[in-house]
């Protein structure tokens, strides 16, 4: 396991979180009023993660004293707005998914219960420091990790083999690859740029060495408008302008239609995307493969696209049962296996000890027998360590997404939006009373 520390909360963030929680009066979940013996009754479970319904059913069968009412959610910014509103109204679920990118903001707003007493020891023993740092803020445990999300390149091996092509090792080689695919298969593209998702710009900036958030003393430093990010933006703008990659809002209907028609034969995604391929285009079984991402100089470097934990929202009605449920679905081998049992999940488990469960549970036939988890581990080990998420990522993400649509229409360009996103992020942080040094 590598020693990267993605998501480690800097000093200023911890102070902000401590102040916010003091004001909100948050208390530990699963403490003296919610002992393990009280773990029964109903748990309301919110998640947008693939396989959540199967996991809820598997848990309920193994724990007859606890009924799980699963309520599927749409992902993205709307989910976090809905969760925030639920906490304010008191109509909260008992368990909710929280991506690592958003957990610091959820905690700073007082929307999560402190899980230190209920799950702190478990998190300490089960997960490496690099993952613990994503859910431990201000010395307290706020969530239990489920998965990591190392980025990888998915490609149609049959089409690549047909033309003697191989996945690119560098980003320069990748542009050459996309050019060749366009020439050899005029209707096909070996890449996709999403105009409704901030992750390609964000995470490939991370891979390139950008550091969007840092601290200087007790002040924040914001580095979105940095040279590595500008280079990433210019690179992808070039691919889009030359029509070397397809553009779609998200990896949803229109994208999947392009995959079905062989119009998309390669794209950047994360470990969780394998399950989407398998379940959405099953007729292409045996045709796909995965590779590590291209890098600037060919040396291993990666980032994470997503990754999630589970929290007990503030005001949850049944925290004892909620904690038992969370622990089972994140750390119990049977619970982990249940994610894969749905046939839609290909998550990379956050606990290194559960990687063998993943390999045994996820079928290899779709990827021609390839061990995609071995590729995922190589990518996971190459994740750049110098990265922290900011305290207003909802604003940062929205600022990016609001401007991405201009890229495909030609009315805007990626390098041009970077400075705007920086300015909007700084204003949002200042409006929350945070000091920004730059």
| pTM score of the predicted model | 0.85
In whole angstroms, give the CA distance from residue 254 to residue 175.
23
The pLDDT of residue 411:
72
The 10 Å Cβ neighbour count of residue 162 is 11
Domain extent listing, the chain: 11-148+306-367, 151-303+386-431
What's CA 317's distance to the chain center, in Å? 28
CA atoms within 13 A on the CB side of 123: 30
The pLDDT of residue 137:
84
Q: From 91, 98, 134, 104, select the one nearest 432 (Cα to Cα).
A: 104
Q: From 199, 227, 235, 218, select the one nearest 100 (Cα to Cα).
A: 199
Domain 11-148+306-367 CATH class label: alpha beta
For 131-143, give one letter per residue: b (16+ CB within 10 A) or e: bbbbbbbbebbbb
In whole angstroms, give the CA distance from residue 92 to residue 259.
38
The pLDDT of residue 37:
58
Q: Taking the chain (438 residues) in consecutive chunks of 10 residues, what is each chunk's mean pLDDT?
A: 37 43 45 57 95 94 97 91 96 97 91 97 90 87 95 98 98 98 98 94 96 88 96 95 95 97 98 92 97 96 94 97 98 93 84 90 92 93 84 93 82 88 96 90
What secondary structure letter does DSSP report for 114? B
Asked if domains 11-148+306-367 and 151-303+386-431 share a fold, the reply is yes
CATH architecture of 151-303+386-431: 3-Layer(aba) Sandwich (3.40)
Evaluate the CA torsion angle 112, 114, 118, 119 in order and state its sign.
positive
Strands 66-72 and 288-291: unpaired
Strands 219-222 and 144-145: unpaired
The torsion angles phi and psi of 343, rounded to 5 degrees, stand at 80, 0
């Amino acid at each position: 396991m590598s020693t990267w520390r993605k998501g480690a909360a800097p000093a200023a963030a911890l102070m902000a979180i401590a102040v916010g929680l003091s004001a909100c009066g948050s208390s530990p979940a699963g403490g003296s009023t919610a002992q393990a013996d009280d773990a029964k009754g109903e748990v309301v479970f919110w998640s947008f993660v693939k396989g959540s319904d199967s996991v809820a059913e598997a848990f309920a069968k193994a724990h007859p004293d606890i009924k799980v009412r699963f309520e599927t959610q749409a992902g993205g910014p709307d989910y976090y707005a809905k969760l925030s509103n639920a906490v304010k109204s008191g109509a909260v679920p008992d368990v909710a998914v929280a991506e690592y990118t958003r957990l610091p903001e959820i905690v700073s707003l007082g929307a999560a219960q402190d899980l230190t007493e209920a799950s702190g020891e478990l998190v300490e023993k089960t997960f490496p420091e690099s993952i613990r740092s994503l859910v431990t803020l201000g010395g307290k445990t706020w969530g239990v990790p489920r998965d990591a999300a190392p980025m990888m390149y998915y490609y149609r091996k049959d089409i690549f083999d047909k033309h003697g092509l191989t996945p690119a090792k560098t980003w320069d080689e990748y542009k050459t690859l996309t050019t060749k695919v366009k020439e050899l298969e005029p209707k096909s593209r070996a890449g996709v740029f999403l105009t409704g998702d901030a992750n390609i710009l964000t995470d490939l900036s991370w891979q390139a060495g950008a550091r969007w958030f840092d601290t200087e003393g007790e002040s924040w430093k914001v580095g979105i408008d940095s040279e590595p990010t500008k280079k990433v933006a210019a690179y992808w703008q070039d691919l889009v302008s030359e029509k070397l990659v397809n553009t779609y809002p998200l990896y949803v209907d229109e994208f999947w239609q392009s995959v079905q028609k062989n119009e998309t034969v390669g794209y950047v995604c994360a470990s969780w995307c394998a399950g989407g391929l398998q379940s959405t285009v099953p007729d292409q079984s045996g045709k796909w493969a995965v590779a590590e991402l291209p890098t600037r100089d060919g040396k291993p470097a990666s980032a994470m696209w997503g990754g999630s934990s589970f929290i007990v929202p503030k005001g949850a009605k049944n925290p004892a049962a909620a904690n038992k449920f969370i622990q089972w679905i994140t750390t119990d081998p049977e619970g982990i296996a249940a994610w894969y049992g749905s046939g839609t999940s290909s998550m990379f488990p956050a606990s290194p000890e559960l990687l063998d469960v993943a390999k045994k549970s996820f079928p290899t036939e779709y990827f021609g027998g390839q061990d995609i988890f071995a590729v995922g581990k190589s990518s996971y080990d190459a994740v750049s360590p110098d990265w922290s998420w900011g305290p207003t990522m909802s604003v940062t993400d929205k600022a990016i997404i609001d401007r991405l649509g201009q890229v495909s229409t030609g009315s805007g360009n990626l390098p041009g939006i970077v400075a705007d996103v920086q300015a909007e992020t700084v204003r949002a942080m200042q409006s929350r009373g945070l000091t920004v040094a730059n």
